[in-house]
Amino acid sequence: MYVNFLEKSLLKIVWEKGLLKIVWEKGLLKIVWEKGLLKIVWEKGLLKIVWEKGLLKMGSSSYKMGNYL
């Protein structure tokens, strides 16, 4: 099952095989939530933020860091 709000909307919700995936895109910013994993990607700025099971990871072209919260 695939649900897309307002046809050309920035928000997409996909429910497939018992898994929920939410994707929101605007310009260069992309936010994805899938199976308890949150990803925030800023494509041009080369910044990637990943949240998974209490672990926050941030990475860019110049540095990477991980931090348990």
The model's pLDDT over 5-49, given as tens digits with 9 standing for 90+, comes to 444 557 777 777 767 777 777 666 777 777 777 777 666 656 666
Count up the domains in the chain and report the number: 1
> 8-17: buried (b, 16+ CB within 10 Å) or exposed (e) per residue?
eeeeeeeeee
In the predicted structure, residue 65 carries a pLDDT above the cut 50: no
Return the pLDDT at 36.
72
> Per the structure block, which two tokens stand in for 52?
């998974």
Return the pLDDT at 16.
72
Return the pLDDT at 57.
64
Residue span of the structural domain in which 40 resides: 2-68
In the predicted structure, residue 56 carries a pLDDT above the cut 60: yes
